[in-house]
Every structure is written in structure tokens, then in C-alpha cells.
Amino acid sequence: MIDTGLANKVVIVTGAAAGIGLATARRFAQEGARVASWDVKDVEAQPNGIFQKVDVTSAASVEAALDELGAPYVLVNNAGILRDAQLVKYKDGVLVGSMSDEQFDSVINVNLKAVFTCTRAVVPRMIAAGGGVILSASSVVGLYGNFGQTNYVASKAGVIGMTKVWARELGKYKIRVNAVAPGYIATEMIRQMPEKIQQAMVGHTPLGRVGEPQDVANAYAWLASDQASFITGTVLSVDGGAVTGT
């Protein structure tokens, strides 16, 4: 077995109650990391880990959780939500709907600002400890857009931008910063979509299947490991080729 350098390291995974977050927490636990699972929903702590009820949109909640942990080596900014709507929607020449301020703001707050809030809080602790790894969830739609997702795409494109800035700013402190851009992953969110839409997703994926949460978790674990020690400021697409397949 290859030594990834993650054994006994403190790893925070936000949005760890289900889906990619839960799979990621489990994956790091397999590497012997001490996993802190953060979510607003209750979740079972991973082996050699703890669960902390944290609202990642609240700086006070994040700081309180960190005070209990000490210095993390890895932060995985995974928490995210969807609030899909068209910018404006017309039917028979009449405006029948639009994306609301609440839909836009709530997605930006969780998917983008919370990444900023958590990273800002963690980085001083990483610097004091001699380095670390910041990993954040973008999306393939942050690279090429998607119908009905102005808010979501804006948040995920913003994550890419912040990742590149932080890689430049924090490299001198031995902190690596990368993003992962998942494609169509078989989470509860995807399973709730109509079968026709799910099949269309598969049709746009050259590998011919929807991804599994474990596929993304493996990417996070590799990027956090010593095997990726010279990689920073990059976006790793985990999408089965979906970008080229659209």
C-alpha cells in the first residue's frame, strides 16, 4: 500500500452528511486521517473522527468548531446546495417567472461565500502548523455553464477563481490549493431527477455512466496526498469526459 502521508492528519470535510461529502469523509478515514465531519444535519462520525454541527455560512460557527480541533492539515470545502431557475421564463410571450433574490443569494452564500469563510478561518492555523491542503468543490458546469443554473454556475466558477488566487497567495506557506469539478454524480440530488433527464446525462458522458461519490472522494484523497505534492492552482475534472461529450 502506498503511503499517502495522511495518517493521523486532521481533515475537515464540510457537507459530510451524505453523498460526496460522506464518501469523502470515509475515504480519508481509510487513509488513517482524523476526520472532522461538518454539517448542519446529524451524521455519524467516521472511524478515528468526530462530527461537529457547523453552519459553514456562519463565521462564528466555523471558528467555534476550529477551536475544538486545533490545526487541520486538509480542508475539503464540499458543502453545496441547488436552487435552480431560469433567469427569466416566458410562456406565450408573457413573463411567468424568474430567478429570485433568495434563490441566487442562498446558493452563493453556501457554495461560494462559505468556501471563503471556512478557508479564511483555517489558513492561519495551517500557516502556524507549517502547511496544509485546501480542496474545494467546483463543478463541470462552472467550466461551461448550464441551463437554469445562473446561481450555481456563478458559485462554482467563483470557486475556481478563488482557488487560483489562493494557490498564488499561499504557496509560500506550503499550502496547496486545488479544486475538483465533478460531472454527473449519483447523489440523492441526481436520483430525484426524472429518469429521462438521468438518461440524458449518461448520454452526454463518454464513459457511459453516471459517476459515483467514491470517484470524487478518490480525487480529493489523491490531491491531498503526498503523491500530489507539486500540484496547486489546478481544477481536476471528475466527469467521465462529460465536458467533451456535450
Mean pLDDT on 97-110? 98
Quick check: is 202 in a domain?
Answer: no
| Count of domains forming the chain | 1
In a domain, 197, yes or no: no
pLDDT in tens, 184-225: 999 887 777 778 878 888 888 899 999 999 999 999 999 999
- Residue 159 near residue 115 (C-beta atoms within 8 A): yes
Q: Which helix (H) or strand (E) holds 27?
A: helix 19-30
Cα dist. 39→64, 112, 177 in Å? 14, 16, 22
110-166 pLDDT tens trace? 999 999 999 999 999 999 999 999 999 999 999 999 899 999 999 999 999 999 999
- On the question of pLDDT at 246 being above 60, the answer is no
**Residues in a beta bridge with 90:** 95
Count of CB atoms situated within 10 Å of the CB of 72: 22
What residue type is 91 in one-letter code? Answer: K
* Span of 3-7, 51-55, 130-134 with lowest mean pLDDT: 3-7
Q: Residue 1: what pLDDT?
A: 58
List residues bridging with 98 in a β-sheet. Answer: 88
Nine-digit cell string for 235: 481544477
Instruction: For the chain, state the CA radius of gyration.
Output: 18
Ramachandran bin of 130, using left for φ above 0, alpha for ψ from -120 to 50, beta for the remaining angles: left
Report how far apart the first and last C-alpha atoms of the chain are (Å, whole number): 37
User: CA–CA separation, 220 vs 48, rounded Å?
Assistant: 19
Residue 188: what pLDDT? 80
DSSP-based three-state secondary structure for 47: coil
State the cell numbers at 111: 457554495
Domain membership flag for residue 165? yes
30 within domain boundaries: yes
Give the global pTM.
Answer: 0.95
217 alpha carbon, distance to own chain's centre: 10
pLDDT at 244: 58
Question: What pLDDT is attached to residue 203?
Answer: 87
Q: Does residue 191 belong to any structural domain of this protein?
A: no
- Any domain includes 147: yes
* Mean model confidence pLDDT for the chain: 94
Give 217's contacts (C-beta < 8 A, 6+ positions apart).
Answer: 20, 23, 24, 26, 27
- Strands of the chain (E only): list them: 10-14, 34-39, 50-53, 74-77, 88-91, 94-98, 132-137, 175-182, 235-238
Residue 170: CATH number of its domain:
3.40.50.720
Kindly report, residue by residue over 6-33, the tens digit of the pLDDT: 999 999 999 999 999 999 999 999 999 9
Which residue is it, cell 463543478? 139
- 193 in a structural domain: no
In a domain, 132, yes or no: yes
Q: Under a CB-based contact definition with an 8 Å cutoff, are residues 24 and 16 in contact?
A: yes
Residue 246 contacts by C-beta under 8 Å, 6 or more apart in sequence? 144, 204
* Domain residue limits at 179: 10-185+212-237
Show which residues are catalytic: 152
